[in-house]
Structure 1
């Protein structure tokens, strides 16, 4: 069994690493200064984006990218170490046009857009000229059951009219955000199949009746691109803005979330690696009670457990990526649910250890640790809470048990004490 990355993947990972060393990390402090001043560092990011595109480090996440579209497509498996490298700096993915929620929206549009939708929305997204958001979550609906989404998408002549409220809509405050992909109910019959009642529409962010009510902080952290609450009041868009078919919105949303979940996990592995590196170095430098922290047995245990757990999680992520590339969709869905739980909990666990080694500094913006912990905690909700993914894995296991029921009987001892032959 070969555990090495392909030569192509390794070459691009190395190229991305060097690019970040030369063009991202030197400007990391400036990015944070501009954000702290209440500005999105648009000029800085756009300058680095131009360099990344020139180097061919563009749209790396999209395996189905055509020759006439900009970028360098990688398989899901090949993209994993590249995304891990990007994840070490949380704003870096944007400079490669590989940041959420655009990646998921581009995948949706790549599969379902009409020629006009391609021209108006997908082409500028692929070029990095605009950003987008995905309006799915609602404040009055449990995120564990997306069939309960209530936003109304009602046909009115040649238009659709949208009414509803969405929240935690990532990217809505980005200065280049021009498009919201909105999931809502288009079939309001109470006895309809709950999985075929929803549709998706493309809504320009400047559409009359669409209001950004507020930016929602995550654990008191305000992301510069926003996690926003949106209200749609009689927002009217042409019927041509329907994405895909009516009633297919729920299935399309699930298809979109799969790659998004694995991309989050890939970047999270990179953030866990960074936290471990910070913890190791701090343990070698910091003294307490006359000894370096690295000489304390419990600190050594934290470092060792972190190393082992990160490697375990990485193997699970790579296996899920391989299943996706092999077209083994049913197995891949379960594998992605598994890594979504494992990696989110891993991130808070590893980062928490690193924060403890840093002491009070780990709580401040002087290190990236407090942000990384916050994001890891948020990952236990976004793209589905842990409980839903655990339920998915359990269902898969129980389904296998039903298919092979009785096969374990030979492993039981008989009442008389002998073994069954």
Structure 2
């Protein structure tokens, strides 16, 4: 009001000009519509408004409006129970008196709050959505290096750790962290290489002295009196030497598999005939076990014969060892499609561990709860070797427990290597 009264005193000859002048500086601003509620009282306009006529005869206590100009004065009057705010330029006697009713001011504020509420309905969700999008984008940008490192590290294993030492870091801030990971991978690779080399060297070095020891024991056994305690001791010693030789052979094979040096001699193998011969021989040795077969005829597959025979023998041996002492059963299934060859060896069993599916392929893990040779003979390396043989042929082996007393080993192999 003070600015209008001061700046538009030259436009008093025409009310439209005066209102254009009053509204001009506020166009586009929140207070611009308030000008429509102003009443202009000026002698030049011969204003007939009741409020203007009344205010002319009322004594008004004028006070300077120092925040605008010292020459501007303001006051208030009550007309017909309505409070009016008035303002004029005291330095100019011809200055108009600008009036604003308290009720009009309240109406204007009400409209202003309605406008605010209406805008909030549309603006606030938009702001929230934009903030959410911005936050998601910032998280994406910040987490991108972590995702790249995660993608690299998730593909690591001991067979390719030396090939994946480089980690992408698009931001300088993550280069130090990436360097720490690279150094860690190099140390792990070096440690693993030392462990593999030790296992391989130990297996190589033990084979010769163990073979010599076994030969000497075999020569001494006939020289002892038949049935004597000394002959029994030598026989037991020979059995233990054979066991050590078997362990070294299996460790050597696992060491070669770990170093990706397990070579395959590929030839066409009749898997159907191989399994049928195995079951025929097994039925004559283990009469207390029922053998069930569901073998597709004529399944010929290109593979390494010696390794596949070892795979089948290990699966068969495990099924025998961990079967029931009486009235047990073993089921063999073999099928082939254009995409894969599938072999399933299922057997009855007792005392199946709750975590057998997770730990069955760990080296030196024994499925029997006691893990002693008194209960089940074995080394705990059979399924580990099976897994390496299957992986060398590009396949997958899994252990399942369909019921509390049934164990199933499923081997899936690609039809074409």
Q: TM-score, normalised by structure 2?
A: 0.21
User: Could you say which structure has the larger radius of gyration?
Assistant: 2
What TM-score, normalized to structure 1? 0.21
Please state which structure has a larger fraction of its residues in strand. Answer: 2
Higher relative contact order (CA 8 A, sep 6+): 1
